[in-house]
Amino acid sequence: MKKSVSCLVLLLSILVLVGCNARPTLHIVNWGDYMDPDLIAQFEAEYHCKVNEKIATSNEAIASVLEASASPYDLAVPSEYMVQKLIDLGLVSPIDFSRLEHWENVTVFPELEALYTPMGIGDYVVPYAWGTIGILYNTQNHPEIGTLIAEEGWGALFDHTQQYNVGMYDSSRDAVAAALLYLGYSVNSEDVGQLALAEQALISGRFSWGEDLLRTSVISGNLDMALVYSGDFLSEYYLAEADGITIGFDYGVPEAGTNVWMDAFVLCSSSKNADLAYKFIDFFLQADHALPNYDYIGYAPCYTEYFQTMVTDYGYDLPVFDPYPQAAVRQMYVYGSDTRSQRVTQILANAKDED
């Protein structure tokens, strides 16, 4: 009898283990801290699956992961210019929007759609979040920097590195774009002379190079200002506000022009779980999930309905929450030529070597 019971327990244990191992796994390449983990856990429970999230630190890293042989990935969240490259490489598939139940309930910002549609990526993306690059600065130590940004635009970042401790984002795309904007050129310039001048501007500046830690360095006062993404400021601002902490930092976007970036869901060509991938995208399109997720990440929704709700119901009423304010000049990155991409990468390496 005891032997029969033991066998039964063993059999049940094996069945449980087999059941656990049989759960489908959704493989995603994403940026760090870019989705509410509680919502991911809710999706796993609802669809009896496992979400394996690979964290990448750059668009180039996302591409490298997807290019690897036998890539298991189903979804990725790259930026608009990298989607162009992924399409060229055959690493992403067109989206079947009819498989997204909640797609009909949302409206992409017309200004945003007008930026990315000419890039030829519209059939491959489900927009996730968008924003700008700008200048985060410490108002407790140097409140005058806000005036500098208003008067000098990008010159506030490049012309005062002797006077202030300035951080520069360790991203070839963003650093070179900021330098080109400073010089009055397009963020997508392929002109050899203009790129050389951008390189010199980055070399001449005495920059501290970093990524996500730039924002905490500015807030703590170790840096006076730095190039950051709009969401870096917004997430820190609303966290400080919720915790009742004195807010001693602000964010400026030069009106002479800046970059508008967009991150989006793409379906990987290597996907073995397309059905689950579509369910995941649709889960984050649903209002009950999308709104708390945008509140978690602090970035602006790409959809007019959710943006308005974030402003009116969640208190995201700061002017910089809108990536495309009236009368502003905004440019979106394109991938450009491989020669240009290699040159931009080299510019960053040269600038960092000089520092």
Mean pLDDT of 240-260: 91
Q: How far is it, in rounded angstroms, from Cα 314 to Cα 258?
A: 26
Among 4-13, 165-174, 237-246, where is mean pLDDT lowest?
Answer: 4-13
Mean pLDDT of 137-162: 95
- β-pairing, 25-31 vs 50-56, is parallel
Mean pLDDT of 125-141: 96
Task: Supply the pLDDT for residue 5.
Answer: 44
| The listed CATH number (3.10.129.10, 3.40.50.300, 3.40.190.10, 3.90.480.20) that belongs to domain 131-259+329-354 | 3.40.190.10
Mean pLDDT of 32-38: 95
User: Model pTM?
Assistant: 0.88
Write out the chain in H/E/C secondary structure.
Answer: CHHHHHHHHHHHHHHHHHHHHCCCEEEEEEECCCCCHHHHHHHHHHHCCEEEEEEECCHHHHHHHHHCCCCCCCEECCEHHHHHHHHHCCCEECCCHHHCCCHHHCCECHHHHHHHHHHCCHHHCEEEEEEEEEEEEECCCCCCHHHHHHHHCCHHHHCCCCCCCEEEECCHHHHHHHHHHHCCCCCCCCCHHHHHHHHHHHHHCCEEEECCHHHHHHHHCCCCEEEEEHHHHHHHHHHHHHCCCCCCEEEECCCCCEEEEEEEEEEECCCCCHHHHHHHHHHHHCHHHHHHHHHHHCCEECEHHHHHHHHHCCCCCCHHHCCCCCCCCEECCCCCCHHHHHHHHHHHHHHHHHC
Task: Supply the pLDDT for residue 215.
Answer: 94
Task: Supply the pLDDT for residue 145.
Answer: 96
Among 137-146, 196-205, 235-244, 300-309, where is mean pLDDT lowest?
Answer: 235-244
Per the model's pLDDT, the better-predicted residue between 274 and 18 turns out to be: 274
Encode pLDDT of 266-296 as tens digits.
Answer: 999 999 999 999 999 999 999 999 999 999 9
Task: Supply the pLDDT for residue 355.
Answer: 64
Task: Supply the pLDDT for residue 300.
Answer: 95
Task: Supply the pLDDT for residue 21.
Answer: 55
Mean pLDDT of 161-188: 95
Task: Supply the pLDDT for residue 63.
Answer: 94
* Stretch(es) of the chain classified as CATH 3.40.190.10: 21-130+262-321, 131-259+329-354
Q: How far is it, in rounded angstroms, from Cα 287 to Cα 291?
A: 6
Mean pLDDT of 2-14: 46
- 140 to 62, 170, 248, 326: CA distances (angstroms): 37, 25, 5, 29
- Rounded percentage of the chain residues whose pLDDT exceeds 90: 80
Q: Give the class (CATH, top level) of 21-130+262-321.
A: alpha beta
Task: Supply the pLDDT for residue 138.
Answer: 97
Per the model's pLDDT, the better-predicted residue between 343 and 327 turns out to be: 343
pLDDT at 208 over 80: yes
Q: How far is it, in rounded angstroms, from Cα 77 to Cα 277?
A: 12
Residue 177's beta-bridge partner residues? none
Encode pLDDT of 40-82 as tens digits.
Answer: 999 999 999 999 999 998 898 999 999 987 789 999 999 999 9
pLDDT at 130 over 50: yes
pLDDT at 16 over 50: no
